[in-house]
Structure 1
Amino acid sequence: MKAVLPTLLGCLLLAACGGDSSDGAAPSTAAADTRPTPNQPQTPAPPPPEVLTCDRTPPNPLRNAYFGELHLHTVYSLDAVAAQLTPEGAYQFALGQPVAAPPYDAAGNSLIPPYQIDRPLDFAAITDHGEWLGERQLCEDPALDPVAYASPECQTYRQDRELGFLLFGGGWAGFGQLVQFPNLSLEEPLLLTDNEVHRPLFCGVTGEKCRAAARGPWLDIQLQAERFNQPGCFTAFNGYEYTMSPMSDNMHRNVIFVGDEVPEAPVSVYEAPDPSLLWQQLDEACTGDCDYLTIPHNSNLSNGRMFAGPDEDGYDIADKRRAEPLIEIFQVKGDSECVQAENGSPNDPLCDFEKLPATNFFEFFLGVNPIPAAPEHLNYVRHGLKEGLLIEESKGANPFQYGFIASTDSHFGLPGAVDEDNFVGHRDVPPAQGVKDDYFNNPGGLAVVWAEENTRESLFAAMQRKETYGTSGPRMQLRVFGGSTELLPEDLCQRGGRAFVETGYAAGVPMGGELHAGQGTPRFAVWATADTFPRENDRSVSVPLERVQIVKGWIEKDANGQSQAREQVYDIATGNSDWSLDDDTCQVSGDGPRQMCAVWDDPDFQADQSAFYYARVVEAPTCRWLTRQCLNAPADLDCSDPQEEWAACCEIENGNTPTRLQERAWASPIWYKQ
């Protein structure tokens, strides 16, 4: 994408691309004519038998772990340049049905075998961009508005979907406020305003044409959610993505609704150019039984903005705490937990995990960054948690008291496609043979929710109370309880699984909860089980656990009486293992622990220090997706002039990316408050 920068800048200056008024043909890889473009959705067909025949189990008061996806894009997203799956196809995939995945030929036929998830999900949400729903429809379907269809912007989009997305996303809402480019003099910066002047001209004076065209896909998203939502069996949430990127710094949120009462249209960055306005307008539009939460994602691309304080960013802490209980800690565009950097987490080697070589979207898409880069550690969730403690000390409330989830952010419409051994890519058109994505991306993760039953209401309530965790893909189960040394028994692990949970709830709080001064020295009980699904050695071997850790952050006074945020990582459980990995073949041997349990007291506890504690569970090493795919690279691959489809393998040879990884899970923190 670096080569498109000069063209993109020219497009932005002209507010249009495409040259003459003739319509350009789409390249064969895009299969433009086969992409669905419904204006008004038809009455949906009955749900598939896999949903209808599910046996609903009674609610479990001790709660079950439900695995799902809360960040997914289908054909309705403007930047889903290689997608053909609609929300219907995405839900079918989530239920375990095979689908036709990219790449496609000019007739829209998949060039790879039918693609299927290894196990069905328990829940999912389609989160297509609230921005550009109508623009995409008008650019795809000449019957809706011939003038819009023939516009230079739409011609550019059909000729080159990548460039078209950067034109729409870079020139208007997506890259938003005060966008400036190097070596250019713009008398008026590109500003977001309340009269929507930065929608394309074909949208109409007030954007009315694009808003009208967006109704079809927005209604279809809702209809498919209702069609596939089967309480007790599979949960389909209504949702969308709010795509705010001021100065190309990522401030995106996924908006998830509890039920079928949703706003008439998504509140996008066109209407609400900052998160405070988003919450305000959602509150106004979300009436009746409507309730929502917003989930920030990819803080690693926020260039330091995601964890700005209320004085700097202008939000009300109470509004933020109410609307935003969770944050996405991991997805296809990398890990956002922590970074081994000065003022970050220099002593935590496990922070060196799935890192992006970018700090905002300019750098991510174009390889250059005209925006001054913030210190790297400011982009990561662990910094945000520590910053929240400092803000709470001065303001009386913590704006970053987040629980954790993970998801994929797949732009192919493939919810939960997290298999390192069968990764088909996530956004760009992949080759039929060769490496499927940029070397620095990954298959993404899963959101896990502890809830009484698999229903919208139960899962949503669990998300609001933050009894959630994220994994980098595997379906590890993880439970954490916090209490005091006086109430939480030291022998909790020996009491068995049911007694562990019953006592944990009775004598403490689960992940996402709070402990308070006066309750005694904190004690934590962590129980983790490995994913038993066989992933290695041709699907014959499952992967054991390596360790369980507690990550603590706290506030203490320095010699001058100034409050400082600190952190420490404690290994609380390890096991005997003879596990080994052959990086040349990706074959594994040996074994290790299938479950770990530990009860841990904070040896450094100070009653006057506010703190957070979260558990991190780490698997034994396995091969990274790129290493696996490069096993099939040509034996004569010449990295001085590699074939394009195999060029990413040279990043391994050059030492720019690791050959192996350790999959993991992150539990929502428990907070100790003075």
Structure 2
Amino acid sequence: MLFGDLHFHTEISFDAGLIGTSLNVHDAFRVARGEKIRSNTGQPVQLIRSLDFLAVTEHAEMIGLATAIRRSDPRLLLDDWGGRIHALFNGSQQDRMAAFGEIIEIGTVQGIDPTAGLGLDGDLWVDLVETIDSDNEPGVFTSLAGFEWTFTPKGDMSNGLMFPETKFDGSPLTAEYAAKRIRWEPIHEMTQIKGDEETHPLLSPDDEFADFERWDVANLSGPAAKTPEMLQYEYARSALKLGLKIGREIGVNPDKFGMYGTTDSHTALPTTREDNCFGKYQHTEPSPDSHGMDVIPAEDPALRIITAQESASGLTAVWARENTRREVFGALTRKEAYATTGSRLRVRVPCAIPTAPTSTGSRS
């Protein structure tokens, strides 16, 4: 078994880079391979056990914005919106938070790229892939290039939209649609910083672990509580049951997925153990004051998420014959993978041993 992380951000992602992450892609791979480096807040950090593979998945939205602000890119400064945002990020803490909130509102909730046409991405993707390739060492360590594209209509995140019984526009599912879905979404991220997405206490009242490190809050459009009718369409166990139901009705199961775990770290530090957790954002790295800091602020205490609620999770385990891109990616596509909350649990599957047929004799 090989263990690694498939959802991970460095200073290139707009949210990570704009809230203080300064470590780059190469730094991330150094840590993943077991080297000791300095964290974003200047602390020594090293994994207790190195990873076997790591995928860097920067946000596709507004890629290049954080880099442009940090470098005072002329293309950004000459744009009215870009110049104003740059000034805010170089102002007070209050100004920076206001700018970050505006970017989230425009880019994520409204789904508009305010940097479109500025060419800030340039050769960034090519450079990123080349850097990732340089850290790939077949047989020893696998580096993977990816990206995160976030579909959040009106900032709703999931809110019952992840595993629907209809298409997004409300029309009925078809066998063709279901087949495309399971082809392009063969595995599901079941655990990460926000806790487990396996099940919910209301869905599994007899499961004592159903409430494990769960953020039951929608946050991109503003903190809001989940409602019970959403839940069966958000969690993996109920989705697997819904998929069987849909499969009987239309002939194709759209939710016959495998599962994997990640950190969703925004620090370029792939730490996954509770005894070596470095937080998932620059401002939640270890410090005397970080325990009760806001991750998601809210006036209602029931909707507020603090540092102590950040899960150290998680990891993806894959069954592979060797540590290469071909084997790791192949295992994922075949769903020969599983999620853990950071512990390197090894699944053992007993194989049936064929036996010679026994003679039953004959009757005369």
Confirm or deny a common fold (TM above 0.5). Answer: yes
Cross-structure match for 2:70? 140
Offset at residue 155 of structure 1 (A): 2.5
Q: Alpha carbons of 1:385 and 1:409: their partners in 2 closer, same or farther (altered >3 Å)?
A: same
Q: Deviations over 1:51-74 (max 9, x none)?
A: xxxxxxxxxxxxxx0100101000
Secondary structure of 1:96's aligned partner: coil
CA contact (8 A) 2:34 2:47 kept: yes
1:419 aligns with 2:328: no
CA contact (8 A) 1:137 1:214 kept: no
Q: Alpha carbons of 1:468 and 1:95: their partners in 2 closer, same or farther (altered >3 Å)?
A: same
CA contact (8 A) 1:68 1:446 kept: yes
Alignment equivalent of 1:101, drawn from 39, 50, 67: 39
Partner AA of 1:232 in structure 2 = G
Offset at residue 346 of structure 1 (A): 1.4
Cross-structure match for 1:156? 88
Q: Deviations over 1:69-93 (max 9, x none)?
A: 1010000011111211100100001
CA contact (8 A) 1:303 1:379 kept: yes
**Which structure's residues are more often helix, by fraction?**
2
Q: Alpha carbons of 1:385 and 1:163: their partners in 2 closer, same or farther (altered >3 Å)?
A: farther
Cross-structure match for 2:323? 454
Counterpart-to-counterpart distance in 2, 1:479 and 1:166: 47
The alignment yields a C-alpha RMSD, in angstroms, of: 2.4
Cross-structure match for 1:218? 125
CA contact (8 A) 2:14 2:64 kept: no
Alignment equivalent of 2:117, drawn from 190, 204, 208: 208
1:347 aligns with 2:206: yes
Counterpart-to-counterpart distance in 2, 1:423 and 1:95: 16
Alignment equivalent of 2:109, drawn from 175, 192, 201: 175
Q: Alpha carbons of 1:303 and 1:443: their partners in 2 closer, same or farther (altered >3 Å)?
A: same
CA contact (8 A) 2:25 2:131 kept: yes
Counterpart-to-counterpart distance in 2, 1:154 and 1:143: 9
CA contact (8 A) 1:304 1:376 kept: yes
Cross-structure match for 2:7? 71
Counterpart-to-counterpart distance in 1, 2:120 and 2:67: 6
CA contact (8 A) 2:61 2:113 kept: no
Offset at residue 347 of structure 1 (A): 1.6
**Which structure's residues are more often strand, by fraction?**
1
Partner AA of 1:340 in structure 2 = P
Q: Deviations over 1:330-354 (max 9, x none)?
A: 001111000110xx11121121211
Runs of 4+ in structure 1 deviating by more than 4 angstroms, as ranges, are 312-315, 371-374
Q: Alpha carbons of 1:90 and 1:162: their partners in 2 closer, same or farther (altered >3 Å)?
A: farther
Partner AA of 2:240 in structure 1 = L
1:126 aligns with 2:62: no
Counterpart-to-counterpart distance in 1, 2:36 and 2:49: 11
Cross-structure match for 2:180? 319
Q: Alpha carbons of 1:444 and 1:162: their partners in 2 closer, same or farther (altered >3 Å)?
A: farther
Cross-structure match for 2:310? 441
Counterpart-to-counterpart distance in 2, 1:100 and 1:419: 18
Partner AA of 2:183 in structure 1 = R
Q: Deviations over 1:591-612 (max 9, x none)?
A: xxxxxxxxxxxxxxxxxxxxxx
Counterpart-to-counterpart distance in 1, 2:120 and 2:218: 34
Counterpart-to-counterpart distance in 1, 2:186 and 2:82: 44
Counterpart-to-counterpart distance in 1, 2:97 and 2:326: 38
Aligned pairs for 1:581-592 within 5 A: none
Q: Alpha carbons of 1:118 and 1:88: their partners in 2 closer, same or farther (altered >3 Å)?
A: same
Counterpart-to-counterpart distance in 1, 2:252 and 2:66: 41
Q: Alpha carbons of 1:398 and 1:420: their partners in 2 closer, same or farther (altered >3 Å)?
A: same
Note the residue ranges of structure 1 that are not aligned, 5 or more in a row.
Answer: 1-64, 104-109, 177-191, 193-197, 251-301, 482-487, 490-502, 508-674
Counterpart-to-counterpart distance in 1, 2:289 and 2:201: 32
Cross-structure match for 1:304? 160
Counterpart-to-counterpart distance in 2, 1:373 and 1:448: 32
Q: Alpha carbons of 1:357 and 1:311: their partners in 2 closer, same or farther (altered >3 Å)?
A: closer
Secondary structure of 2:15's aligned partner: coil
Note the residue ranges of structure 2 that are not aligned, 5 or more in a row.
Answer: 292-305, 356-364
Cross-structure match for 1:394? 249
Q: Alpha carbons of 1:357 and 1:439: their partners in 2 closer, same or farther (altered >3 Å)?
A: farther
CA contact (8 A) 1:123 1:234 kept: yes
CA contact (8 A) 1:338 1:381 kept: yes
Offset at residue 158 of structure 1 (A): 4.0
After TM superposition, the score normalised by the length of structure 2 is 0.83
Secondary structure of 2:347's aligned partner: strand
Offset at residue 440 of structure 1 (A): 1.9
CA contact (8 A) 2:72 2:86 kept: no
Alignment equivalent of 1:338, drawn from 187, 194, 199: 199
Counterpart-to-counterpart distance in 2, 1:303 and 1:406: 20
Cross-structure match for 1:378? 233
Counterpart-to-counterpart distance in 2, 1:321 and 1:335: 21
Q: Which has the higher contact order (CA 8 A, sep 6+)?
A: 2
Partner AA of 1:155 in structure 2 = A
Counterpart-to-counterpart distance in 1, 2:98 and 2:165: 35
Partner AA of 1:72 in structure 2 = F
Q: Deviations over 1:560-588 (max 9, x none)?
A: xxxxxxxxxxxxxxxxxxxxxxxxxxxxx
Cross-structure match for 1:255? none
Aligned pairs for 1:585-624 within 5 A: none
Q: Percent of pairs identical after alignment?
A: 32
Q: Looking at CA atoms only, which structure, 1 or 2, has the larger radius of gyration? A: 1
Secondary structure of 1:351's aligned partner: coil
CA contact (8 A) 1:359 1:373 kept: no
Partner AA of 1:86 in structure 2 = N
After TM superposition, the score normalised by the length of structure 1 is 0.46
Counterpart-to-counterpart distance in 2, 1:428 and 1:170: 21
Partner AA of 1:449 in structure 2 = V
Q: Deviations over 1:601-658 (max 9, x none)?
A: xxxxxxxxxxxxxxxxxxxxxxxxxxxxxxxxxxxxxxxxxxxxxxxxxxxxxxxxxx
Partner AA of 2:105 in structure 1 = G
Offset at residue 162 of structure 1 (A): 4.1
CA contact (8 A) 2:2 2:319 kept: yes
CA contact (8 A) 1:175 1:244 kept: no
Counterpart-to-counterpart distance in 1, 2:139 and 2:68: 38
